[in-house]
Structure 1
């Protein structure tokens, strides 16, 4: 005699079965995501690893055969670079220019973003659209006008010739506006009812909520100024005022290049940015993820 399971037992097992299928699918997608993340990580880390190996071994990784592990550990490349070139001076110049430019750029960005996001004035939309239109102009097209303006101000050959144009952060203003649009206007109106003025609202209410935004602006501006090569090369005439990206060109010979010394100096230039990104990674990701949400 054939025994048939009750109908209600079959239907009761369906939710558990579907949950098991969902768990298996989620595990598969988790494995796929981990594998993809590992592959992307290897692709991104590989050039950095080649640079480290070349800097500490003194020989190019791809000179004769692929050697991804240094056969000998030496600091000769670093000693040669610091003995032959004023790397310490160039490093200090990069720090000075990048820090001052970043501070001014962040101030311009957050104040401009606050004005476009939370204040109301005539021609606001037109001015913001004109500001966005400047982002579509190539940097090369503005080199001659910028040089003429800086030259007329008598700043050629000084750090201010690099700092002042770099403080005009159009993308920073746009990013700040998009972030501050997510701040409730009712919060600002409540502070205004309590007697706070515009500057007080900006300083005590808006800025404390913009820590992720400040981290993003700081990192983006610092990376841009630290790696800038063309504009400092044009306006800085004294070699003692050169920054690290300009100094790297002295290590590239016309017929032969000392890759060990070149990678050693490149590593000195890259390490500060890596440390800063690792230190502010959480705020950086949070700021980019919340920008533009309403």
Structure 2
């Protein structure tokens, strides 16, 4: 009996941890389906008695002549476009840079790598003021280019790809060079397939960081039509913070796309995190 109990304890602990993680998300969805004021009673209900999509209709669609034009749907599309661009441009810059630092020999590589490592310890908030002044000088304030500028060449992405590329045996690359392959062909045909799990993992991190970024778009964007989703929801919460059901609908709209993306790519994500995509 004691042996069975000890064997069941890890499973019970994991089940309790899973419930504690999932329960707030389930409650968030349930509250978003409740009618106005239904979540304000005590104790708050866990399940909606009469599920409705009214909160989503009010949040996502304009009401001509009404006072509830939240501009969430344009903000959702803005965030999706910016996160996609940040991911594509970020991968296009960080993956080749990480490969170059790991496998190529060029003048000044060591010093340049030291500079990259030094940048990794600088808090992002410290660089926001000088970066904003630079963008203002070149006229990129209140533009999507200004939002994208700080994140398309992330230091951590370069270091992440470099560390993964170091696991590729040099003998494999040397054999390709002996066969007459160019450096670009080696990178695209040999290195990139081996880095697929790491690349997908980096893409997820980049997309999530851009999707959920609040402070920098809040600083750079001044036009309401160009708001990203977190900024638009923050603007709504200032006036409708007491409308719990509406705010939970906004939280679902913010969380659902990235959650679905993670579930679709989780196989590559775990392979990348665990380092299982490259074998020496």
Superposition TM-score, scaled by structure 1 size: 0.86
CA 1:74/1:46 → structure 2, altered by over 3 Å: closer, same or farther? same
Instruction: Work out the CA distance in 2 between the residues paired with 1:86 and 1:112.
Output: 38
Aligned CA-pair RMSD: 2.1
For each residue in 1:220-251, what CA deviation from the matched residue of structure 2 results, as whole angstroms up to 9, or x when unmatched? 00000000011011111111111100011122
Q: Does 1:110 align with 2:88?
A: no
Match 2:84 to one of 67, 78, 99: 99
Q: Does 1:241 align with 2:226?
A: yes
**3-state SS of 1:280 partner:** helix
Most deviating of 180-189 and 39-48:
39-48
Structure number with bigger Rg? 1
For 2:254, the equivalent position in structure 1 comes to: 269
CA 1:147/1:112 → structure 2, altered by over 3 Å: closer, same or farther? same
Mark the runs of 5 or more structure 1 residues left unpaired by the alignment. 1-23
Q: Give 1:62 deviation, angstroms.
A: 6.2
For 1:144, the equivalent position in structure 2 comes to: 129
**3-state SS of 1:168 partner:** coil
Q: How many residues matched?
A: 270
Q: Does 1:164 align with 2:145?
A: no
Q: Give 1:121 deviation, angstroms.
A: 2.1
For 2:109, the equivalent position in structure 1 comes to: 124
Q: Does 1:201 align with 2:179?
A: no
For each residue in 1:108-165, what CA deviation from the matched residue of structure 2 results, as whole angstroms up to 9, or x when unmatched? 2211110111112233233222212212111111111110121122111111001121
Instruction: Work out the CA distance in 2 between the residues paired with 1:245 and 1:104.
Output: 22
Instruction: Work out the CA distance in 2 between the residues paired with 1:190 and 1:168.
Output: 31
CA contact (8 A) 1:161 1:235 kept: yes
CA contact (8 A) 1:90 1:241 kept: yes
Q: Give 1:41 deviation, angstroms.
A: 1.2
Superposition TM-score, scaled by structure 2 size: 0.90
Most deviating of 268-277 and 32-41:
32-41
For 1:72, the equivalent position in structure 2 comes to: 50
Match 1:50 to one of 27, 34, 41: 27
Q: Give 1:166 deviation, angstroms.
A: 1.3
**3-state SS of 1:253 partner:** helix
